[in-house]
Structure 1
Amino acid sequence: MDWFGQTRGVTDFLQLNDAPVEFVEPELLRATSYGHFTSMQVRSGRVRGLDLHLERLDHSSLELFGQGVPADRALSYLRLALDRADSADLSIRVNAFTRERAKLDAGIPVSPELLITVTDPLDPTPDPPRLLAVEHERVVPHLKHTGTFPLVYFGRQAHLAGYDDALFHNRAGNVSEASIWNICFAGRDGIVWPEAEVLPGITMLTLQAGLAATGVRSATVPVPLTDLASYDAAYLTNSIDPALPVASITTPAGTTEYRTDPASTALIAAAFEAVPPQQI
């Protein structure tokens, strides 16, 4: 049983820096409310975009705590987690936080701790989702921070309204991202990414590099809600779903339905495969 009273999978465990966590103290739960994280899917001990995850941990920690996380430190903890697991196929989340808030609040840089959550690998989403457009602008969007309440809240509201998830747009009516995904659109001009304040997702960055490597046109431009019907397809993307086709997007003006588009699906799949996974 885990500390929520739920049965754990074969590989599930927590690791604080380099040591396993047998009991979660209240102090630890409080401390993790301020921080950031990155999530990755590990297959055969490899992660696509691993260098980008390490860069995110370092740069975000420098901004939040005044000290970064060197790549060799993060890798040493990840390798220990792999050694403790029963499989090289895993889902891993790394939270960076500090229990030295007094120092941090006094302006003293601190070295963040890393809480590593290891769970069984996650399967891709089986069905194309139906999205409900909601106005929401992420706070400090360039950081994958622990302030995820709005993402869960608006996602739940979309579920209650009969949809699969929320798609966010800003106050100007331009698409930005979904709750736990970036989004891109396929059309005559190639692959389009919304120009808005969004979290630069690791899979999004990986796909953009792969599109460039395979010679596919890719651009970042404003995507107004009023232009959704001008695209052939839409895809959600994160570490679990590199290119999840979107079934429909509902806005106050109506619903845009998307049909399967084999051409753009093949282009995005090829772009993803063009960036090889890296060994932890």
Structure 2
Amino acid sequence: MTTPPRGEDTTPSPASPADDRVHVEADGVPAADPELLGALTSGYGHFTAMQVRDGRVKGLGLHLERLDRSTRELFGRGLDGGRVRGLVAGALEAAGRRDASVRVYVYEGARTVVTVRAPAPGGPGAPQRLTSVAYERPAAHLKHLGGFGQRYHGEAARRAGYDEALLTSPSGEVAEGAVTNVAFWDGTSLVWPSAPCLHGVTMALLEPLLGSVRRPVLLSDLPRYRAAFVTNSRTIAPVTAIDGTAFAVDGELMGRVHAAYGSVPPEEVHP
């Protein structure tokens, strides 16, 4: 064994900043930006999803407000709406699209990722059959990442022949769909469940335009309601059944709902 020269400091030197960098490989190839890929795979963050038509979005201000509010809650800093609009506009231009399904993801450090895909089909959604599951999303007010539970139940519902899973508490209080909000019509008012849930942008746009209330909705209460429908950024669709409870498609109600949504002026994405 070689003896170090007298007086030489043999204490290991502190790790250099470079030693703390994450090394990430995908299919055996080092990632071009390992810090970004590390953030993307962390599962900690939030997002919003929107439909762009002719470069405009209904409720764009609500999407930007949600992104800023959630970024402050998760990461202790804001997210400038003008910057987000610029990123979305740039991604749309790069993709050569004026109509698109767009998602904006936010990760630690307010790293912002925009995805652009083909737009969802327009027009009223097809009637849906739901099945209830006892599952409540953690931090349900956030449109957060890492939604394994809701994806698991949603996929299981589709394999069982349903269109969507309806998330409920163990006591049977209805909260939301796996990827939707749900509303019920009692013949007088539109009832949105008051259990903790994500208040989606489409729900937020419709609620003040229609005779709406929020109150607890139990699975045992469902036969009392005349109709139901689900909403998200992609669709507004009537519900024809939840478990063994059937609902008629109320054409007059759905006409009012679609007319209310159609009355919302879209906002230009380009800042």
Cα pair 1:184 1:191 within 8 Å, conserved: yes
SS at match of 2:115: strand
Mapped partners of 2:163, 2:34: distance in 1: 34
CA-CA distance at 1:269 after TM superposition: 1.1
Q: For residues 160-179 of structure 1, what are the structure 2 equivalents within 5 Å?
A: 160-179=159-178
Mapped partners of 1:223, 1:29: distance in 2: 41
CA-CA distance at 1:256 after TM superposition: 0.8
Mapped partners of 1:161, 1:88: distance in 2: 37
Q: Which amino acid aligns with 2:257?
A: I
1:75 to 85, 89, 108: 85
Are residues 1:39 and 2:49 paired?
Answer: yes
Are residues 1:267 and 2:256 paired?
Answer: yes
Aligned to 1:247: 240
CA-CA distance at 1:162 after TM superposition: 2.6
Cα pair 1:210 1:275 within 8 Å, conserved: no
2:38 to 6, 17, 30: 30
Are residues 1:52 and 2:62 paired?
Answer: yes
1:223-276 deviations in Å (ceiling 9; x for gaps): 1101111111110100100x20112100xxxx1111220111112112212221
Give the aligned CA root-mean-square deviation in angstroms. Answer: 1.9
Q: Which amino acid aligns with 2:245?
A: T
Mapped partners of 1:182, 1:25: distance in 2: 36
TM-score (norm 2): 0.83
Aligned to 2:215: 221
Cα pair 1:187 1:230 within 8 Å, conserved: yes
Cα pair 1:210 1:273 within 8 Å, conserved: no
Cα pair 1:210 1:274 within 8 Å, conserved: no
CA-CA distance at 1:25 after TM superposition: 5.2
SS at match of 1:163: coil
TM-score (norm 1): 0.80
Mapped partners of 2:186, 2:232: distance in 1: 21
CA-CA distance at 1:126 after TM superposition: 5.2
2:247 to 251, 258, 263: 258
Identity within the alignment, %: 43
CA-CA distance at 1:150 after TM superposition: 0.6
Are residues 1:278 and 2:238 paired?
Answer: no
Mapped partners of 2:143, 2:156: distance in 1: 22
Cα pair 2:125 2:238 within 8 Å, conserved: no
Mapped partners of 2:52, 2:91: distance in 1: 11
2:105 to 87, 91, 95: 95
CA-CA distance at 1:27 after TM superposition: 4.5
SS at match of 2:127: coil
Mapped partners of 2:200, 2:37: distance in 1: 25
Cα distance change of structure 1 residues 126 and 49 upon mapping to structure 2, 3 Å threshold: closer
CA-CA distance at 1:87 after TM superposition: 2.1
Mapped partners of 2:193, 2:125: distance in 1: 25
1:101-157 deviations in Å (ceiling 9; x for gaps): xxxxxxxxxx40110001110125853121111111110111111021011101122
Runs of 5+ in structure 1 lacking a partner? 5-22, 99-110, 212-216
Q: Which amino acid aligns with 2:38?
A: R
**Larger mean Cα displacement after TM superposition, 161-170 or 120-129:** 120-129
- Highest CA radius of gyration, 1 or 2? 2
Cα pair 1:90 1:121 within 8 Å, conserved: yes
